[in-house]
Structure 1
Amino acid sequence: MTDKHDEFGLNAYFDAGRKAAQMPSGDLMARVLADAEAQQMANVPAPAAQPGLFASLWTAIGGWPTVAGMATATLVGIWIGISPPAPLEEIMAGNTLDTYLVDLLPAFGDDFVEG
C-alpha cells in the first residue's frame, strides 16, 4: 500500500525549498527583538508580599508539629486540673511531711559506706 520509493513529484519542490532558504530582513528581526524586550519588561513579577503577624508567629514556633504538641500539653494540663490524681490531692492538702520521709534512691547509700 505504501512504498517508500513512490514519488509523487514532491521531491522537486522540497529540493527547491532547501536551496532557496530565505533569511528574515534586518528590519523584521529588529521589530521582533524590540517586541520581545517589551514583553519581558511587562512580565516582571511583583515583589512578594511580606507575611503577616500570625504567619510569622506560626513559622517562629515551628508550624503544625509544634502546635500539635502545645495543644496536647494544654489539654493534659486542663485534664489534670479538673481531675487531679489521688497523690496530688494529698500533696496539695498539706500532708507533705510524708513525702520527705520517702527515700527515693535507697540503693546509692551503700556506695559511700563500702569505701
Structure 2
Amino acid sequence: MDNSDLDDLFAAVRQQPVAVSDGLMARVLDDALAHQPATVAMVKPKRSKGFWMGLFAAIGGAGGLAGLSTAAIAGVWFGFAQPAALTTVTDSYWGTTETVSETVDILPGFYDYLGEG
C-alpha cells in the first residue's frame, strides 16, 4: 500500500455521510455543558497601598522597622562616640599600634554640654 492508495481510501470515506442519532448528540452536548467552567464573578482589584506602605511591608513590618532603626542608631553612636572597648577590639583586630596625632571633633561630646557658665 502506498500513499495514493491511502488517499483513495480517505476520499471514499469522506463521501459517505456520517449518521449520528439525535439522542447521541443530545447526550454529548449535555456532557459538554456539564464540563464547562462555571462563570466567576469579577473581583475588583485591590488598590495599591502606596510607596511607604509597600516599603514598610518589605522591611518586615513594625518589628523590622524597630530592628533597622535600632541598628542605625547604634551605628551612629559607635561612629561618633567611639567607646574605648570598641577601639581596643579594632586595634587588636587590625594589629596596629599607631596613634592618630590629629583628630577633628565633628560633634562635641556629652560632657561638653554640661559645663557651667
TM range (shorter): 0.3 to 0.5
Higher relative contact order (CA 8 A, sep 6+): 2
User: What is the TM-score with the length of structure 1 in the denominator?
Assistant: 0.40
Higher helix share: 1
